[in-house]
Structure 1
């Protein structure tokens, strides 16, 4: 388990010495990647390569942040689509092999008394 420097320390280091910050950032990332299993290590090395490439192509830190955020959202979207596809396959398989019918549980609608609020002057 790694003990990471505090956010404030990293922020101050980046302001005072950006090169030292980058060295520390790369060191922490590489140490973490090296600590993982062989199978996971290859995936993380590839992912870090993509991240570094997007950062290198960016014109400024904000552009880099937006590019990496877009990359993350695209990955989540792909994962969502994959999960939906698996869900559809599983649901189709369930309905094809199950002798019973499936019905969603019904919910009772809650009732409430509406209170009149009076304005105070």
Structure 2
């Protein structure tokens, strides 16, 4: 794992959603695309994860009235494509998060790396 970097294991696409979307819409998008997080682009950049959705449901929030902006984590921690996986694991542990958006040198989102991506890489 010493030689592996983010770009070797990340999902090379970024699913995004508006902060104005409902929790129900966000959950549907995650389900349809088989993903565990959505990036909220724009001035109030954030991230919504499946864990956020489950937490909201457990709290009894109405998925039709709760917006993504109500639940998203913002500001969002992000990483660069060249970061070593050990550094990614340390960040996830330090910040207690399971998903990190990946940005290129221009600051554009180019992917997402998840704790699942890291576990699958370690298991190989």
TM-score interval w.r.t. the shorter chain? under 0.3
Larger Rg: 1
TM-score, normalising length: structure 1? 0.24
More helix by share: 1
- Which of structures 1 and 2 has the larger relative contact order (alpha carbons within 8 angstroms, sep 6+)? 2
More strand by share: 2
